[in-house]
Amino acid sequence: MKKYILLAVIVAATSLAYSCSSTEVEEEKSTNAKAARIARGEYLVKISGCGDCHSPKIMTPKGPVEDSAYLLAGFRSKDHLPPVDSSVLKNGWALFYAEGTAMVSPMGISYAANITADETGIGNWTLEQFKTAMTEGKWKGLKDNRQLLPPMPWQNFTKMHPEDLEAIYDYLQSTKPVENIVPMAVFSTQ
Ligand code: HEC
């Protein structure tokens, strides 16, 4: 009898140990998968030049470089666009702010959005919202909202694979949150 009890205890202990280690293995696998997704997202953000527009710049002798304190945080709320001679817009010109974070065009004035993990950025967005903004060009990723203005090149992203969008989303959610409320876009009345 004792022998059977001992055997049952051994079997139970072994299966418990096995189930613990298999959950740990699963958790480790999913942590590794997430880390790989974030790394891929960072790579995709770099090669698609999101920072060209979404990161304010510091001017150096070698040209503009991304301001690391404002990485992907959009047009700095404390800055102001210098006055613009809007008569040039009637002659086919659009003006790009030298930092890349704002554009004045015949359609109006657009300011690159804060896409960091802060709540003034996309920190409280769902993946679904992010996909809607990226592939349908909707402000704040909500279907009933206005269309995003140029130069956000969302038309280029309409066919982006869902796993790439997810990787970019996971990377952006892992960025340093930067509190920065970007000015509202201004629509031209002409
Ligand atoms: C050529 C400039 C440019 C590039 C490149 C660019 N964006 Fe944008 N993006 C903008 C501008 C400007 C806006 C704001 C447009 C508006 O308010 O109508 C914007 C808006 C967005 C929005 C919507 C934000 C909101 O609050 O609704 C998201 C999300 C976004 N961009 C993500 C990205 C990602 C990710 C990349 C790279 C894969 C990228 N953008 C590349 C200029 C750019």
pLDDT digits (tens, 9 = 90+) for 89-124: 999 999 999 999 999 999 999 999 999 999 999 999
Q: Is 175's pLDDT higher than 80?
A: yes
CA of 115 from ligand 1 middle (Å) equals: 8
Q: Is the CB of 182 under 6 A from ligand 1?
A: no
Atom of ligand 1 nearest to the CA of 134: 29
Q: Which residue, among 124, 91, 119, 123, has the nearest Cα to 105 in the 3D structure?
A: 91
Among 40, 53, 72, the mutation site with the greatest number of ligand 1 atoms within 8 A of its Cβ is 53
* Residue at token pair 């009345």: 189
Q: Is 145's pLDDT higher than 90?
A: yes
CA of 12 from ligand 1 middle (Å) equals: 56
CA of 29 from ligand 1 middle (Å) equals: 32
CA of 54 from ligand 1 middle (Å) equals: 7
**pLDDT in the model for residue 130:** 98
Q: Is the CB of 112 under 6 A from ligand 1?
A: yes
Answer with the residue of higher pLDDT: 190 or 108: 108
d(CA 69, CA 79): 15
**80 C-beta neighbours (distance < 10 Å), count:** 9
- Mean pLDDT for 180-189 is 92
d(CA 162, CA 133): 13
Instruction: Kindly report the protein residue whose alpha carbon is nearest to atom 8 of ligand 1.
Output: 152
**pLDDT in the model for residue 8:** 66
Answer with the residue of higher pLDDT: 128 or 6: 128
**pLDDT in the model for residue 21:** 77
Token pair, residue 95, equals 């003006």
CA of 145 from ligand 1 middle (Å) equals: 15
Least confident of 89-93, 118-122, 129-133, 174-178: 89-93
**pLDDT in the model for residue 11:** 62
d(CA 123, CA 12): 45
pLDDT digits (tens, 9 = 90+) for 26-76: 888 889 999 999 999 999 999 999 999 999 999 999 999 999 999 999 999
